C-alpha cells in the first residue's frame, strides 16, 4: 500500500460532516461529531488485504457473508446471513446481501472480473455499525454500514450505488491502487462513483439516457429540505443546496478545480470532473453505460499502465489509448476525446 492508500474510504465526505458538526442544532452536531470521531478511529485501525483466501478457481457466483455489529464498533460482528441462506427478517441485512451480489454481477457478467480482486475474493459486510452512524466505508477488507441517524441520513444500505461505490474502492485497491490524495485520490473516488452508478444501472436495466446519474439517491433524511443525493455525475455541484448540508461544492470542469488541503486534497470534491467526463462519454455513446464507456474505464483500471499518483491528464490519455486498443479509430475514441475536452482535461 502506498502512503495515501485507499484502504479506508467513506461515502459521506468529511466536508459534509465537518459542516454538520458545527450546526446550531445539538442533535445534528452530535451525530456528525460522533461519526467523525469513529471515522478517525477506524482510519487509524484499518486493516489491509482480503480477510479470507480466495478459491484457487474463481467462481461465477459470489461468496457473501453479512455480519451484525450490534450497534458497536468491533468488527466484523456476528454472522447473520451467509451465501445460500434464505432472506432474513432484517431488511438491512437483506439489502446488504443483495447489494454485494449486484456489484459482483456487474464485474463478473460485464467484464469477466470475478469479485473485486478478479480472483473470487469473498465479499464481507457488517451492518448496524455503531449508534446513529452517518456513514458507510470500505476498510481494505470489508464493507461497513451505519444505520444513519434517521434525520440527516437514512440506512446506508438503501442506495445500491453506495454499496457498489464502496466495493469499487476494493476493486481499485486490487487493480490500479490509485493513491488517495490530490488528483489520483479524486480519480480513486470517481472510479468508485462510476462503477457504483454502473452497478445501479446494471441492476435496474437502465440505459445511459434513463439513469439519474446520482450517487446516494434515497439516502438523505427528512431534515434535508433541498437535496437529492450526495453527488451528481450529470450536473456536479447540484446534488444539494441546503441550509443544513450547505452547497454541493463539486466542480464539473477544470475551470472550477478546487485547491484545498482538507479531504486529502479535495478527493470527494474534484472527483466531479472525471465523473462528468464519464457521464458525457456514456451519454454520447448511448445504450448501456456499462458496455463501451464502462469497458474503457475497466480496461484502464486493469491495464497496468496507470501510475499510482496518476493525474487527470494521465488517466485521460489512458482512456484514449484503451478506446483505441479495443475499438480502433471509431466513434468511441472521438467520444472519449470530446468528453475530456468538455471538462477541460488535456489529452495530448
Query: Which residues participate in catalysis according to the annotation?
Result: 166, 268
Block residue for cell numbers 489512458: 318
DSSP letters for 203-221: HHT--TTT---EESTT-B-
**How far apart, in Å, are the Cα atoms of 273 and each of 38, 96, 268, 280, 341?**
29, 29, 11, 11, 11
Check if the beta carbon of residue 278 is closer than 8 Å to that of residue 213: no
147: cell is 444505520
Residue 76: cis peptide before it, omega within 30 degrees of 0 = yes
Whole-number CA gyration radius for the chain: 19
Q: What is the DSSP string of 169-184?
A: HHHHHHTT---SSHHH
Residues 6+ apart with CB under 8 A from 330: none
How far is the C-alpha of 163 from the C-alpha of 108, rounded, in Å?
16
Cα within 13 Å of Cα(241), Cβ side: 5
Amino acid at each position: 500500500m502506498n502512503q495515501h492508500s485507499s484502504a479506508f474510504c467513506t461515502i459521506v465526505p468529511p466536508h459534509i460532516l465537518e459542516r454538520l458538526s458545527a450546526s446550531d442544532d445539538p442533535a445534528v452536531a452530535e451525530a456528525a461529531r460522533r461519526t467523525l470521531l469513529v471515522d478517525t478511529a477506524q482510519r487509524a485501525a484499518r486493516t489491509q488485504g482480503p480477510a479470507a483466501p480466495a478459491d484457487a478457481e474463481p467462481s461465477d457466483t459470489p461468496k457473501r457473508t453479512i455480519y451484525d455489529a450490534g450497534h458497536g464498533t468491533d468488527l466484523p460482528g456476528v454472522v447473520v446471513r451467509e451465501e445460500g441462506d434464505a432472506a432474513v427478517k432484517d431488511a438491512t441485512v437483506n439489502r446488504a446481501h443483495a447489494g454485494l451480489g449486484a456489484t459482483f454481477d456487474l464485474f463478473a457478467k460485464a467484464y469477466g472480473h470475478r469479485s473485486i480482486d478478479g480472483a473470487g475474493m469473498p465479499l464481507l459486510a457488517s451492518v448496524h455499525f455503531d449508534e446513529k452512524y452517518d456513514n458507510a466505508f470500505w476498510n481494505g477488507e470489508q464493507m461497513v454500514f451505519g444505520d444513519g441517524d434517521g434525520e440527516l441520513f437514512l440506512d446506508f444500505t438503501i442506495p445500491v450505488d453506495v454499496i457498489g461505490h464502496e466495493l469499487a474502492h476494493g476493486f481499485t485497491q486490487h487493480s490500479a491502487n490509485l493513491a488517495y490524495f490530490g488528483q489520483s485520490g479524486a480519480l480513486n473516488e470517481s472510479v468508485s462513483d462510476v462503477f457504483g452508478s454502473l452497478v445501479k444501472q446494471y441492476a435496474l436495466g437502465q440505459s445511459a439516457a434513463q439513469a439519474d446519474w446520482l450517487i446516494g439517491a434515497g439516502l438523505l433524511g427528512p431534515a434535508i429540505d433541498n437535496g437529492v443525493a450526495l453527488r451528481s455525475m450529470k450536473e456536479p455541484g447540484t446534488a444539494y443546496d441546503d441550509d443544513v448540508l450547505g452547497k454541493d461544492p463539486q466542480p464539473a470542469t477544470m475551470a472550477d478545480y478546487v485547491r484545498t488541503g482538507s479531504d486529502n486534497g479535495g478527493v470527494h470534491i474534484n472527483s466531479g470532473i472525471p465523473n462528468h467526463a464519464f457521464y458525457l462519454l456514456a451519454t454520447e455513446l448511448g445504450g448501456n453505460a456499462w458496455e463501451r464507456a464502462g469497458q474503457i474505464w475497466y480496461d484502464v483500471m486493469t491495464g497496468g499502465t496507470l501510475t499510482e499518483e496518476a493525474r487527470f491528464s494521465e488517466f485521460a490519455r489512458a482512456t484514449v489509448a484503451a478506446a483505441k486498443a479495443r475499438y480502433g479509430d471509431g466513434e468511441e475514441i472521438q467520444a472519449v476525446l470530446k468528453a475530456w475536452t468538455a471538462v477541460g482535461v488535456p489529452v495530448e
